[in-house]
Structure 1
Amino acid sequence: MIGRDRPAESSISVPARRTLAARLDWNLVRTYRVVAEECHLSRAAERLFVTQPAVSQAIKRLQTQLGYTLIRRRGPRISLTPAGEEVYRIARAVFADMSSLEMPIEGVAEQVVGRVKLLSVSRVHSVAYNEFLIDFHRRHPRIELEVEIMRGHDVLMAVSQNTASMGIGLCRVDTPPIERRLLIPQRYALFCGPPHRLFEAADIDIAALRHEDLVTFIGDQLGDTLSPLTLFRENHGFQGRLAASSSNLEEVCRLIMCGYGIGFLPEHAFRREVSLGMLRKLPPEAGLADVDIQLLWHRERPMRPAESLFRDELLTAFGPARAEDDRV
């Protein structure tokens, strides 16, 4: 176990309590928040783009600074101590407040000034979305836009926990307290790459796919954002082994193109690769499941003027007609 038991309240002097905030490394608190959300050191390291030893060392240092144990190790997974649960609650609230900070700047000629941080899944292919970004920047040049690419699961978690103002991601069902609006309809289909034995095959029957090796997304499991794919796989009796996986859409595509197995991809995002002969679409011709891209935000989170403007204008730009155009 890392660290030591929490000392009695009376053993912590008042001056020590007063100086804790001044000497505390808030980068360590940020790392701990991600660890607490993932309950898994490797996944936390992947999300933070650092190594697992770096995450473990950060937790050790934070426990040393605080003076009590935050986590318990159980193999690759972790659990939070009672003190750890309380620190996580405080850290989540602190970072929710910090993420909504905005430097007050005097407007110029009544222009809206501010910053919008947008979480997004990768490969958001949409002519309408590109046109919106061009037009929005032309009309609001003093709004800074920061886009952070994340896994669909992480976008959903960040918005639901009120640590981000909005995100573009996957959310199939109503998930309080998240508001969601359809942006880009997308249908997933099965694909294989040139090295795969089915790439040149004729008249492929879906039954022939049941024992093929699979390339999947990490987190493609029942109840997750991509669960329709898993449901289809199970309903049609797929029994192939998992040959490769990634949390990144580009890497899933690469592994399929390199012949590791057949895999699920959004059709509209990979039309170019199909036309260039880098991918082949497999049965069923109609595709597998709709996993639409949604605009997500927390219904109880107050938004700054720049954030509200971006959200409202994006929703206005994406009426039903524009969404149908992207499905074609």
Structure 2
Amino acid sequence: MADRLNKTSLSAAEHGQRDLAARLDWNLIRTFLVVADELNLSRAAKRLFVTQPAISQALKRLQGQLGYALVQRRGPQIALTAAGEEVQRIARGVFADVSSLEMPARDATDQVVGRVKLLTVSRVHSQRYNDFLADFHRRYPRVELEVEVLRGHDVLMAIRQNTASFGLGLCRLDTPCVERRLIVPQRYALFCGRPHALYARREVEVSRLLHEDLVTFTGDYLGDTLSPLTLFREHHGFQGRLAASSSNLEEVCRLIMCGYGIGFLPEDAFRRETEAGMLRKLPPEEGLADVDIHLLWNSQRPLRAAEAVFRDELLAAFDRD
């Protein structure tokens, strides 16, 4: 009888372990390991490129699956419980075993197959980005990359609506469901074209610009992704009429070069036109506003293998000094 009871108890325990292994989300374990390393939710969120609430929710879900507490909150800092320390020890061993698969996987990078849809604003001026694309295609030739150029606002909205893998666009503020990572810093300045009266003027004061006709983006209004430019314009009291506008950066540049008015452009992206004499940079010399380009993705989107590789490789490329 005793032997039968022992066998029954052992069978129940084994069944419970198998059930836990089947339903345990190992992404939550990975998140916990980062939290256990940092002992700070904010730093863990930065390492994983997610928000702090997402980290807190992941911990809550993992503790719910395991049935016991792993951490104790002490203000912004956290401490591991005794159970948390044991889970950390076990999980590190598991991930160490899994890492032994890394070398064969590296030898088989060409086996990653899939499609990545990338939405981007125009004129992303970055040699590092170009180098990444070339290297990524060399290492993962079977990943199909589809690139579509949209306005900054449309890129952000598409990512929020989860209609593309990633976006390269403008996102100054935290946005629900959207993770962002700075990729290309951009400094906007004022320019005029060769036909404009200011082009040949030796000295140009900021006050001289206040009544000039303006070329701008159709989306350049308060609250939009380009609102720093609008705020600068309103702060300095620009009173010139709107002479032309476009939702496309190339067309805005064309209109400025054709003399329709002065306008805002990212300095680095149009350095070639400036050096060739087609554009002249106007005061203030330090430029007007930072409107940086970020890599954007939907935090609630489960990434396919090709998408995960693309994101991880791109972020790693821009992490290098």
Distance across 2 between alignment mates of 1:286 and 1:109: 48
1:260-314 Cα offsets, whole Å, 9 max, x none, are: 0000000000000011100000000000000000000010111110001001110
1:185-210 Cα offsets, whole Å, 9 max, x none, are: 00000000011000011111101000
Structure 2 SS opposite 1:191: strand
Distance across 1 between alignment mates of 2:320 and 2:209: 35
Aligned to 1:255: 255
1:154-233 pair list within 5 angstroms: 154-233=154-233
The alpha-carbon deviation at position 255 of structure 1 amounts to: 0.1
The alpha-carbon deviation at position 109 of structure 1 amounts to: 4.9
1:80-112 Cα offsets, whole Å, 9 max, x none, are: xxxxxxxxxxxxxxxxxxxxxxxxxxxx95610
Q: CA RMSD for the aligned pairs?
A: 1.2
Structure 1 SS opposite 2:133: helix
Instruction: Please say if 1:126 is aligned against 2:126.
Output: yes
Distance across 2 between alignment mates of 1:294 and 1:205: 33
C-alpha spacing 1:320/1:239, structure 2 compared with 1 (3 Å): farther
The alpha-carbon deviation at position 320 of structure 1 amounts to: 7.0
Aligned to 1:138: 138
Distance across 2 between alignment mates of 1:320 and 1:270: 25
1:49-68 pair list within 5 angstroms: none
**% same residue:** 75
Distance across 2 between alignment mates of 1:203 and 1:193: 16
Gaps in structure 1 of 5+ consecutive residues: 1-107, 322-328
TM superposition score normalised by structure 2: 0.66
Aligned to 2:313: 313
1:242-262 Cα offsets, whole Å, 9 max, x none, are: 000000000000000000000
Distance across 1 between alignment mates of 2:115 and 2:164: 13
Equivalenced residues, count? 214
Aligned to 1:81: none
Instruction: Please say if 1:278 is aligned against 2:278.
Output: yes
Aligned to 2:19: none
Aligned to 1:298: 298
Distance across 1 between alignment mates of 2:206 and 2:233: 11
Opposite residue 154 of structure 2, the aligned amino acid is D
Distance across 2 between alignment mates of 1:201 and 1:172: 35
Runs of 4+ in 1 over 2 A off after TM superposition: none
The alpha-carbon deviation at position 319 of structure 1 amounts to: 1.8
Instruction: Please say if 1:269 is aligned against 2:279.
Output: no
Stretch of structure 1 that moved more, 312-321 or 245-254: 312-321
Q: Please tell me whether Structure 1 or Structure 2 has the larger radius of gyration of its CA atoms.
A: 2
Aligned to 1:46: none
Distance across 2 between alignment mates of 1:194 and 1:240: 19
TM superposition score normalised by structure 1: 0.64
Aligned to 2:149: 149
Opposite residue 283 of structure 2, the aligned amino acid is P
Distance across 2 between alignment mates of 1:319 and 1:193: 37
Distance across 2 between alignment mates of 1:163 and 1:112: 22
Structure 1 SS opposite 2:295: strand
Opposite residue 245 of structure 2, the aligned amino acid is S
More helix by share: 2
Distance across 1 between alignment mates of 2:169 and 2:136: 20
The alpha-carbon deviation at position 175 of structure 1 amounts to: 0.8
Opposite residue 249 of structure 2, the aligned amino acid is L
Distance across 2 between alignment mates of 1:259 and 1:172: 30
Structure 1 SS opposite 2:202: coil
Structure 1 SS opposite 2:167: strand
Opposite residue 201 of structure 2, the aligned amino acid is A
Gaps in structure 2 of 5+ consecutive residues: 1-106
Distance across 1 between alignment mates of 2:311 and 2:155: 16
Structure 2 SS opposite 1:318: helix
Opposite residue 273 of structure 1, the aligned amino acid is E
1:146-200 Cα offsets, whole Å, 9 max, x none, are: 1011111100000011122210000011111100000000000000001100001
Opposite residue 265 of structure 1, the aligned amino acid is L
Distance across 2 between alignment mates of 1:298 and 1:249: 25
